Chains A and B, each alone.
Chain A
Amino acid sequence: MLKTPGWEWMIVVYFFVGGIAGGAYFTAALADTFGTRRDGTVTRVGYLLALPLVALCGILLIADLGVPTRFMNMLRVFKFWNPMSIGAWGVGIFGLFSVVSAGLSFSERLATLRRGVGLVGMIFGFFLASYTGVLLSTTAQPFWGEARLMGALFLASGASTGMAAVSLVLLLIGGATGEGWRKIRWADRSSMVIELVVLGVFLAALGAAARPITTGHFAPLFWGGLVGAGLLVPLGLDIVAHRVKVVGALSAVLVLVGGFVLRYVVLMSIQS
Chain B
Amino acid sequence: MARTLAMFTDTSLCIGCRACQVACKQWNELGQEVPEWTGTYQNHAHFTDKTFRLVRFIEEPKPQGQMAWLLMSDVCKHCADAGCLNACPTGAIERTAFGTVNINQDVCNGCRYCVSACPFGVVTFNHDTGTAHKCSFCNDRIHNGLGPACAKACPTESIQFGFRDDLVAKATKRVAALQAMGFKEAQLYGADSQGFLGGLNAFFLLLAKPATYNLPDNPQVPQRNVVRDSVFSLGSALLVGLGAIFAFRRRGEGKESDHA
Contact = CB atoms under 8 A, between A and B. Distances in A.
B117 A190 contact: no
Interface string A55-86: 00000000001111011011011010111110
Interface stretch (B61-69, B144-152, B171-179, B251-259): B251-259
B109 A66 contact: yes
Interface centre among B47, B234, B237, B249 (most CB of A within 10 A): B237
A76 B107 contact: yes
Nearest to B256: A36
B125 A140 contact: no
A135 interface: yes
A245 interface: no
Interface in A102-150: 126, 130-131, 133-135, 137-141, 144-145, 148-150
Q: Which 5 A-B pairs have the closest CB atoms?
A: A66-B110, A66-B130, A190-B243, A151-B233, A152-B236
Contacts of B116: 3-5, 7, 139-141, 144
B89 A194 contact: no
Contacts of A71: 109
Interface string B213-244: 01000011011011111101111110111011
Interface of A: 1-7, 26-27, 30-31, 34-36, 38-39, 42, 65-68, 70-71, 73-74, 76-77, 79, 81-85, 87-88, 126, 130-131, 133-135, 137-141, 144-145, 148-156, 159, 163, 178-179, 182-184, 186-187, 190-191, 194, 198
Contacts of B21: none
A198 B233 CA distance: 10
Contacts of A148: 225, 228-229, 232
A76 B241 contact: no
A5 B255 contact: no
Tell me what chain B mostly uses at the interface: helix, strand, loop, or mixed.
Answer: helix
Contacts of B237: 126, 130, 155
A234 to B, nearest CB: 16
Interface string B111-125: 111011111111111
24 contacts: A1-B214, A5-B116, A6-B112, A34-B249, A39-B252, A65-B110, A66-B112, A66-B127, A67-B130, A73-B91, A73-B92, A81-B86, A81-B226, A84-B111, A126-B233, A134-B233, A138-B226, A144-B116, A149-B229, A152-B232, A155-B240, A156-B239, A194-B236, A198-B236
Contacts of B222: 138-140, 145
Contacts of B119: 2, 140
Chain A interface main SS type: helix
Interface residues of B, number: 66
Contact of B248 (A67, A159, A187): A187
A182 B250 CA distance: 11
Nearest to B105: A67
B226 to A, nearest CB: 5
Contact of A67 (B47, B108, B232, B234): B108
A26 B236 CA distance: 13
Nearest to B115: A5
B180 interface: no
Contacts of B111: 65-66, 74, 84
B113 A84 contact: yes
B190 interface: no
Contact of A179 (B112, B113, B131, B252): B252
Contacts of A38: 252, 255-256
B46 interface: yes
Q: Which of B88, B112, B119 has the most CB of A within 10 A?
A: B112
B124 A3 contact: yes
